[in-house]
Amino acid sequence: MFDTVDVHAHILPQSYRDALDELGIQTEKEDGFPEPRWSAEEHRAFLDEMGGSFQVVTISSPHPHRGDDARALEQARAINDETAAFCRLRPGQLGFCTYLPLPNVAGSLEEAARGFDELGAVGVKVPSNACGLYLGNEAFAPLYEYLDRRSAVAIIHPTAPSAVPAGTFTVQLKPMYEFLADTTRSVIDLLMMGMLERYPNIRWVVPHCGSFLPEVAHRMVGISHILVPQGKMREVDVMRGIRSLYFDLAGTAQPVMLDALLKVADPTHLLYGSDYPYTPAPIVLKTKQALEQDPLLADIKDDVFSRNAARLFGLS
C-alpha cells in the first residue's frame, strides 16, 4: 500500500504548451497566475522526495478549447499521448486522467475510450465549464452515459468562468476566488440538474476541499424547502448528493475549509491532493505535514492520505 496517494497534481507537457501558444492563450494573462516551471525530471525528483507515493496527474487551467472542435480534438490527442508517455516512466507511481476536449462531446467520447482502452488512463479530467457550458448541461448527457457504464472517475478542475464582471479584483487573480466560485457553480449545476441521480456510477472528484460547496450546502437545503412546495424547483436530496461526491484537500484546507468539509462529506470520500507544481514542492511538503498532524484527521489519516484513493482507483 502507498503511504500517500495524491489525486490532485499536474503536468505541463510540451503539447499542452503548444496548444496554448497556438490559441494565443497566455496563462498569466488569462488566470492571473504565473505558469509554474515544470519538467519531467523535476517532477520525478518531487515524487522521490514525497516517498512511497502514487500520483494521479491531470492538465490544469487554462482549458485549451476556443471554438474549433476538430483542432481541440487533435490537441487533446497529443496532450494525452504525451501524458501517458510521461506516466510510463514511473508506472508504479504515476497514473493520469484523460484530458477531454469539451464541449466537443463526440471528441470527448473518443478520447475517453482511447484513454481507458489504449493509454491506461485511470479516469477523465473535466473543466468546471467548457466554453460557457457547465457540467449539468444536457449536452453532456451522451458522455455521462458512457462514463456511467464505465463507472469512471471524473476529476473536476476549475477554469476561468464564462463571464465575470470587468474590472473587479477577483478577475485579475482567478485562483483566489473565481476558480472556487466556478467549481461550486458547476457542482451545484450537476446536483440540481439531476445528473448525479441519472448517472450514479460516475465517481466525481471535487477539488480544493469542495470549494464553497460545504458553506452553501445547508442553504441549498433551506431554499429547497421553500421553493419545492411552490413548484419553483425540482426536489433534490442535496445532502445525499454531496455525500456521493469525492473531495480532494488541495489548497488551503486549514484552518477552516477542512472543518467545514467534514460537516457535509462522507469521510471515506476524502482524498489527499498536493496541487504540485502550481503549489511549489517546499510548500506542498510543509502543508502535507500540517495536515498529517491535524487532530480533525487523527482517526482517518491513513484513509485520507492513501486508502480512500486506493479504493477509488483500484490501486494495490
pLDDT tens digit string along 63-122?
A: 999 999 999 999 999 999 999 999 999 999 999 999 999 999 999 999 999 999 999 999
Contact 204, 154 (CB under 8 A): yes
As a whole number of angstroms, the distance between CA 268 and CA 69 comes to 38
- pLDDT tens-digit series, residues 38-59: 999 999 999 999 888 999 999 9
The structure's pTM equals 0.96
Q: Per DSSP, what are the bridge partners of residue 4?
A: 53
Please state the domain extents for the chain: 4-313
Q: State the pLDDT at residue 11.
A: 97
Q: Residue 286 above 90 pLDDT?
A: yes
Half-sphere exposure of 312 toward its Cβ, with a 13 Å CA cutoff? 33
pLDDT tens digit string along 133-159?
999 999 999 999 999 999 999 999 999
Identity of residue 102 = L
CATH no. of 4-313: 3.20.20.140
